[in-house]
Structure 1
């Protein structure tokens, strides 16, 4: 599950709220062990996602770096090249 969490800091354009929430969802799924919680745990699960999203957003806003922002398109191209090399196929 956590393999889907991608670095979100120092990108141009910055990470969106949706990207931060998707990472929070993956994190909560991983630590809870639930892909989809039962009705009894749904409220706690959703509350955790909301809180992790807020904290992650605050973290990203407070971090500083002197490095140049990474270009999303270049990162995607490099990942696709790595997938093709690793698995011998083209990835879209």
Structure 2
């Protein structure tokens, strides 16, 4: 479930709001154990996703580094190579 949570900091272009929200959704799903919450838990679930996304955005915005931003295309190729080595595809 959490394999889709990717590093979002120090990329060019920067992480989008949608990427931060998707990672937050996966995090809340993992913590709660729900892929889709019941109607009784929907409000609490959505509130948690919103709060985690806001915290993540603040964190990413406040971090400082002297490293060069990573290129998304290069990192995607590296991930594909790791996957191919791991799974033989």
Give TM-score, length-normalised by structure 2.
0.97
The 3-state SS of whatever aligns with 1:20 is helix
Residue 87 (structure 1) shift:
1.0
Structure 2, unaligned runs of 5 or more: none
Match of 1:78 in 2: 78
Deviations 1:52-83 (A, max 9, x none): 11110010000000000000000000000111
Q: Distance in 1 between matches of 2:33 and 2:83?
A: 27
Per-residue deviation at 1:42? 0.3
> What residue is the counterpart of 1:53 in the other structure?
53
The match for 1:88 is: 88
Task: Supply the distance in 2 between the matched residues of 1:86 and 1:24 (Cα, whole angstroms).
Answer: 27
Q: Output the TM-score relative to the length of structure 1.
A: 0.94
User: What is the alpha-carbon distance in structure 2 between the residues aligned to residue 71 and residue 12 of structure 1?
Assistant: 6
Gapped regions of structure 1 (runs ≥ 5): none
Instruction: Provide the aligned length of Structure 1 versus Structure 2.
Output: 89
Q: CA RMSD in A?
A: 0.6
